[in-house]
A and B are shown apart, each in its own frame.
Chain A
Amino acid sequence: MSRQEILDKVNEIFQDVFDDETITVAEATTAEDIEDWDSLTHITLISEIESEFGFKFAMKDVLGMKDVGEMLDIIEKEV
């Protein structure tokens, strides 16, 4: 799966979790850029990504990732 394909899927998950179809995430998107992206929503996002891609993030990565780019790095490595 290419990085762009992963990003597209992640984008769909974001739109679904935040219930907002206008959201478009990029590599540099951080929690600062999306109003409702708090720590609880972050955990929901992670769970949705895990069930979509079929792997489990390490807790270190869940708490340590800084932007969508880092999220993609981990997904790319796992799938």
Chain B
Amino acid sequence: MTLVSFSFVGFFFIVLAVYYLMPGRFQWIVLLLASLAFYFLSAQPFTFLYVLLSVATVYWAARRIDRLSAERRMQPEDKQLAAKLGRQIKTVYILALIIIIGMLAALKYSNFVLGNVCLIAKLFAPQTEIITVQFAASLGISFYTLQMAGYLTDVYWGMVESEKNIARLALFNLYFPQMISGPINRYKSLSGELSGKHSFEYGKVRSGIWRIAIGFFKKLVISEQLIGAVDAVYADTQAYGGIFVWIGTFLYVIQIYADFAGCMDIVLGVSECFGVELAENFKVPFTSRSIQEFWQRWHITLGAWLKDYIMYPLLRSAAWGRLTKKIKKSLGKKAARQLPTFLAMLVLWLAMGLWHGGGWNFIGEGIWFWLVIVLGQVLKPRGDNLLKKLRVREESRLWYCFQCARTTLIYAVGALFFKAGSLTGALRMLGSALNPIRVLESACRILPVINALDESMGTVKLGWAALGVLFGFLIMIIFGRMEKRNRPVREWLAEKPVVLRGVLTVLFIFGIIIFGAYGPGYSSSEFIYGGF
């Protein structure tokens, strides 16, 4: 069952009705049962074993860590005992992490590792064949593993108490709106929301349903309509080189944003209807002045997770401390502050790339963003000087627009690596897009390509399809501008007279029906981020 399907809409309304008919203290059980039903309706049933193993491991480890920590607190004088308990706590923590992250690694990266090992073996024994294995991973494993590892680490750090009820922990892992595509939530903020009592609030449910409609709009009117054009360019990079790489890539940027942000609108909207507030994952990312700011506005919860649980602990580790001291001695204070941070950032970006999948193109994407951020920081003093000399006002509108365009271009190059499927493919496409002769030659072919595409289409002609997407895109920009001004469209709509509200809602739904890609028996493609 995908989030954009008639069956999901039916499922959601049934769960919503049962949820509010139940006494408050049973509501979390309704959510747990609904989440289990959603899982079995959407994934291969045996993959649930992975989920069970993850929940059971983390439950046991967190409880054990809590008990050992309490024991340590009770006898603060006995240093020997404290050290012994400290070692035990660390062992339990690391063991549980190995189990849950090992599961993720085995299911997700086996083929990447095997493929590379075989390639190296091929150098010495040319007859070696590339071995691949087929594993069915559990639904949303990349998301829930991070969520569970985060919870366990919070217990280890003493930030939260361990959950006593394994069923409640299972709900934190399985909560159906967010399980497939995030956002990656923190136990501290979500557990209370999930186990609390929620009475029916018309305003909240209405606002949630509007948000779901906005999500459907982004997915069906923009993302689904752009798939064809984007995939055509990326499937045949020989025919569509030069300028087509830029066109395809910028369309992909629009598509992936509409797809992922639309998916988040549905997820957060559904959850809002249950009265459960989830963390936001997007904050108008394309209005960012720098790529650093962009990543604080795009897939926010993943970036924050990687910073809090990988980068900062690394920076505080003994090994990093030693490295900092060495650099300070040989290169001075400034370098000692910058270099270890850049190195920790590299680990973060490699993890960010690899989280999306086992592939050198994902590693390439991570390194690209890391390089841009590091260069940006190193060159900042020179850049500031240059701006002063050129008398550019940092607050001017034109400079701001330039910065946003620059951010979008940097992201587009990263997205090219992401979409290309392989590192060599990405580099080939990039080479073709940066080759002026290839760009000029392909630019001359734009009209014939458009004509051929128009003829190959059925009853709906290219012009109409493009108009539909353009219409959707403009509306998405208007929504973005309203959000940027802290006045989301739903809040604006809620203040309007009931008749106007009704008319606009009906018009919006008709817009989705007219311009969206759907139909009887139509099942939208999976969300891009549903595949992780």
Q: Is the CB of B316 within 8 A of A46?
A: yes
Q: Is A30 an interface residue (CB 8 A)?
A: no
**Partner-contacting stretch, out of A21-29, A37-45, A65-73:** A37-45
Instruction: Give the CA-CA distance A51 to B321 in the complex, in Å.
Output: 9
Q: Is B121 an interface residue (CB 8 A)?
A: no
- Cβ 8 A contact of A40, one of B159, B313, B341: B341
Instruction: Give the CA-CA distance A17 to B333 in the complex, in Å.
Output: 10
Q: Cβ of A47: which chain B residues have Cβ within 8 Å of it?
A: 315-316, 321, 324
Q: Is the CB of A59 within 8 A of B337?
A: no
Q: Cβ of B312: which chain A residues have Cβ within 8 Å of it?
A: 39, 43, 62
What total of chain B residues lie within 8 Å of the partner, measured CB to CB? Answer: 13
- Cβ 8 A contact of B316, one of A17, A39, A43, A64: A43
Q: Cβ of A77: which chain B residues have Cβ within 8 Å of it?
A: none
Q: How far is the CB of B360 from chain A (nearest CB, A)?
A: 28
Most B Cβ at <10 Å: residue of A17, A46, A59, A64 = A59
Q: How far is the CB of B265 from chain A (nearest CB, A)?
A: 27
Q: Cβ of A59: which chain B residues have Cβ within 8 Å of it?
A: 157-159, 313, 316
CB-nearest residue of chain B to A64: B159
Q: Is B307 an interface residue (CB 8 A)?
A: yes
User: Total number of A-B contacts with CB less than 8 angstroms?
Assistant: 33
Q: Is the CB of B157 within 8 A of A43?
A: no
Instruction: Give the CA-CA distance A30 to B159 in the complex, in Å.
Output: 20
- Cβ 8 A contact of B337, one of A44, A46, A60: A44
Q: Is the CB of A43 within 8 A of B315?
A: yes
Q: Cβ of A44: which chain B residues have Cβ within 8 Å of it?
A: 315, 337, 341
Instruction: Give the CA-CA distance A47 to B320 in the complex, in Å.
Output: 10
Q: How far is the CB of A56 from chain B (nearest CB, A)?
A: 8
Q: Is A58 an interface residue (CB 8 A)?
A: yes
CB-nearest residue of chain A to B160: A60
Binding site secondary structure of chain B? helix
Binding site secondary structure of chain A? helix
Q: How far is the CB of B115 from chain A (nearest CB, A)?
A: 35
Q: Cβ of A62: which chain B residues have Cβ within 8 Å of it?
A: 312, 316
Q: How far is the CB of A34 from chain B (nearest CB, A)?
A: 17
Q: Is the CB of A58 within 8 A of B158?
A: yes
Instruction: Give the CA-CA distance A51 to B337 in the complex, in Å.
Output: 13
Complex A-B, nearest 7 residue pairs according to Cβ-Cβ distance, in ascending order: A59-B157, A60-B158, A43-B315, A43-B312, A60-B157, A60-B159, A44-B337
Q: Is A31 an interface residue (CB 8 A)?
A: no
Q: Is A74 an interface residue (CB 8 A)?
A: no
Q: Cβ of B308: which chain A residues have Cβ within 8 Å of it?
A: 63
Instruction: Give the CA-CA distance A67 to B23 in the complex, in Å.
Output: 42
Q: Cβ of B316: which chain A residues have Cβ within 8 Å of it?
A: 43, 46-47, 59, 62
A39-B307 contact in complex given A44-B341, A47-B324, A59-B313, C-beta closer than 8 Å: yes
CB-nearest residue of chain A to B315: A43
Q: Cβ of A60: which chain B residues have Cβ within 8 Å of it?
A: 157-159
Instruction: Give the CA-CA distance A73 to B142 in the complex, in Å.
Output: 39
Instruction: Give the CA-CA distance A51 to B336 in the complex, in Å.
Output: 13
Instruction: Give the CA-CA distance A33 to B316 in the complex, in Å.
Output: 25
Q: Cβ of B321: which chain A residues have Cβ within 8 Å of it?
A: 47, 51
15 sample A-B contacts, Cβ–Cβ < 8 Å, listed by A number: A40-B307, A43-B315, A43-B316, A44-B315, A44-B337, A46-B316, A47-B315, A47-B316, A47-B324, A59-B158, A60-B157, A60-B158, A60-B159, A63-B159, A64-B159
Instruction: Give the CA-CA distance A44 to B324 in the complex, in Å.
Output: 11
Q: How far is the CB of B227 from chain A (nearest CB, A)?
A: 37
Q: How far is the CB of B465 from chain A (nearest CB, A)?
A: 44
Instruction: Give the CA-CA distance A47 to B321 in the complex, in Å.
Output: 8
Q: Cβ of A51: which chain B residues have Cβ within 8 Å of it?
A: 321
Instruction: Give the CA-CA distance A50 to B314 in the complex, in Å.
Output: 15
Additional 20 contacts, C-beta under 8 A, given A59-B158, A59-B159, A60-B157: A39-B307, A39-B312, A40-B307, A40-B341, A43-B312, A44-B315, A44-B341, A46-B316, A47-B315, A47-B316, A47-B321, A47-B324, A51-B321, A58-B157, A58-B158, A59-B157, A59-B313, A59-B316, A60-B158, A62-B316
Q: Residues 307-342 of chain B: 1 if any A CB is under 8 Å from the residue's CB, otherwise 0?
A: 110001101100001001000000000000100010
Instruction: Give the CA-CA distance A51 to B201 in the complex, in Å.
Output: 53
Q: Cβ of B313: which chain A residues have Cβ within 8 Å of it?
A: 59
Instruction: Give the CA-CA distance A33 to B337 in the complex, in Å.
Output: 22
CB-nearest residue of chain B to A63: B159
Q: Cβ of A64: which chain B residues have Cβ within 8 Å of it?
A: 159
Q: Cβ of B158: which chain A residues have Cβ within 8 Å of it?
A: 58-60
CB-nearest residue of chain A to B158: A60
CB-nearest residue of chain A to B345: A40
Q: Cβ of A46: which chain B residues have Cβ within 8 Å of it?
A: 316
Instruction: Give the CA-CA distance A3 to B307 in the complex, in Å.
Output: 32
Q: Cβ of B307: which chain A residues have Cβ within 8 Å of it?
A: 39-40
- Which chain B residues in 333-391 approach chain A with CB under 8 Å? 337, 341
Q: How far is the CB of B4 from chain A (nearest CB, A)?
A: 35
